[in-house]
């Protein structure tokens, strides 16, 4: 079972996008976080793409005046061809990691898709050392939180899905063809159910706002299973889906619902389209820590810098957590200890001298 087949069956990406090929990893998003010894920090976002205009990105790319923004045009050679790439960079210094975390974790419009990291930081004094601990967690993407993958799939199935998503060629296939097809079908069902559960509360809100006796919130809620059973390959195209309900259930009121809620549905559709476009991104994170790295879940360490590559596809199924710890000599404690030792030594010398005089 190939990654391409998996995605086609799951309905998350259009076949045209897959066959185009060139869209894959065309946009690279990276973050660099530098933790300073006093607990302050610097965050740098960088987007490299083939478009001069910064596209609406699911990753939290700052654009406001509180960040230092720069743009660059680069000519990159790929074999005998040269490609033009545009680099957008946003940089900002923060008095503390907690302040940076609050800004990056600010609530966004629920009608948009955003990868919002959760950041935690600790700085502790332990004797002659200062210990630092940094953790950044990227939660499961919003459209797929309604039905947690860990409850829908077994641990073994999630392991197989992870292998497929990462396209790990080193691991041998542990499933037969029939088992692979069964897992594909189950994954497609999970994705469709997740998207439907994410859309259904919005549908109820818009039905209530329509206030039409032919279509009440109670009716929609009671017919929820029927609505789901009528989904076809058009879903998650909201307009085509509602039109199908209108035709199959012979309820013209759905046409009035579309007319009344078209702006809201269009915004929600944009969110789903952005989820599709997520697969065209490559996302990397880098953290620079004070002192010497003492522990991390990263496999890429260079001096006091650790790096991670996050596969956006995996964010459908599980969160991604990056942790790193470092240790730095507490010079003040050493100087204070040395001073105390010196004072004790001088006190002993003076005491010995006084006793000799007696």
Torsion angle of C-alpha atoms 67, 136, 156, 274, degrees rounded to 10: -20
Averaged over 123-152, what is the pLDDT?
87
Question: For residues 50 and 11, which has the higher predicted lDDT (pLDDT)?
Answer: 50
Q: Is residue 226 part of a domain?
A: no
User: Is a pLDDT exceeding 50 seen at residue 327?
Assistant: yes
pLDDT of 224: 94
Q: Is residue 285 part of a domain?
A: yes
- Residue 332: pLDDT band (50, 70, 90) is low
Averaged over 199-227, what is the pLDDT?
93
Distance (Å, whole) CA 182 – CA 185: 5
User: Is a pLDDT exceeding 90 seen at residue 334?
Assistant: no
pLDDT of 9: 43
Q: Which residues of 232-262 are buried (b: 16+ CB within 10 A; e: fewer)?
A: eeebbebeebbebbbeeeeeebbeebbebbe
Question: For residues 276 and 176, which has the higher predicted lDDT (pLDDT)?
Answer: 176
Query: 305-310 and 281-288: which strand pairing?
Result: antiparallel
Nearest to 62 by CA among 51, 74, 72, 47: 47
Q: Is residue 1 part of a domain?
A: no
Q: Is residue 157 part of a domain?
A: no
Q: Is residue 314 part of a domain?
A: yes
Nearest to 140 by CA among 130, 132, 148, 152: 148
pLDDT of 23: 38
DSSP string, 111-134: TS-----EEEEEEEEETTEEEEEE
Name the DSSP letter for residue 135.
E
Averaged over 146-166, what is the pLDDT?
86
The model carries a pTM of: 0.79
Q: Residue 26: what are its φ and ψ, rounded to 5°?
A: -75, -20
Q: Is residue 244 part of a domain?
A: no
pLDDT of 309: 92
pLDDT of 22: 36
Distance (Å, whole) CA 43 – CA 256: 47
Q: Indicate the average pLDDT of the chain.
A: 83
- What are the tens digits of pLDDT across the range 52-70? 877 777 777 888 899 999 9
Sign of the C-alpha dihedral computed for residues 181, 182, 186 and 192 taken in this order: positive
User: Is a pLDDT exceeding 50 seen at residue 164?
Assistant: yes
Q: Which domain holds residue 136?
A: 23-144+279-333
pLDDT of 184: 82
Q: Is residue 8 part of a domain?
A: no
List the single range of 87-91, 187-191, 239-243 with lowest mean pLDDT.
Answer: 187-191
Q: Is residue 134 part of a domain?
A: yes
State the total domains in the chain: 1
Indicate the helix (H) or strand (E) that contains 74: strand 68-78
């Amino acid at each position: 079972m190939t990654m391409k087949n998996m995605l086609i069956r799951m309905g998350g990406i259009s076949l045209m996008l897959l066959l185009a090929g060139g869209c894959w990893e065309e946009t690279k998003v990276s973050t660099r976080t530098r933790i300073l010894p006093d607990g302050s920090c610097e965050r740098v976002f960088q987007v490299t793409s083939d478009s001069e205009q910064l596209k609406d990105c699911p990753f939290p790319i700052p654009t406001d005046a509180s960040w230092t923004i720069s743009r660059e045009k680069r000519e990159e050679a790929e074999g005998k061809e040269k490609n033009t790439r545009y680099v957008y960079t946003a940089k900002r210094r923060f008095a503390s990691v907690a302040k940076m975390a609050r800004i990056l974790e600010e609530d966004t419009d629920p009608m948009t898709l955003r990868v919002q990291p959760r950041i935690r930081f600790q700085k502790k004094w332990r004797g002659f050392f200062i210990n630092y601990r940094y953790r950044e967690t990227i939660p499961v993407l919003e459209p797929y939180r309604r039905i947690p993958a860990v409850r829908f799939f077994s641990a073994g199935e999630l392991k197989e899905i992870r292998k497929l998503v990462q396209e790990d060629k080193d691991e041998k296939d542990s499933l037969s063809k029939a088992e692979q097809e069964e897992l594909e079908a189950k994954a497609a069902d999970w994705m469709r159910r997740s998207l439907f559960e994410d859309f259904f509360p919005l549908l109820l809100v818009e039905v209530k706002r329509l206030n039409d006796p032919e279509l009440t919130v109670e009716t929609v809620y009671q017919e929820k299973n029927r609505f789901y059973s009528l989904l076809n390959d058009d879903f998650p195209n909201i307009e085509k889906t509602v039109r199908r309900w209108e035709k199959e259930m012979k309820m013209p009121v759905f046409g009035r619902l579309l007319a009344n809620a078209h702006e809201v549905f269009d915004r929600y559709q944009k969110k789903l389209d952005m989820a599709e476009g997520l697969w065209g991104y490559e996302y990397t994170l880098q953290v620079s820590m004070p002192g010497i790295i003492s522990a991390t879940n990263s496999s890429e360490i260079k001096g006091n810098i650790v790096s991670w590559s996050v596969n956006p596809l995996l964010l459908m199924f599980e969160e991604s957590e990056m942790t790193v710890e470092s240790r730095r000599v507490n010079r003040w404690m050493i100087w204070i200890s040395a001073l105390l030792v010196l004072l004790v030594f001088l006190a002993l010398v003076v005491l010995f001298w006084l006793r000799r005089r007696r």
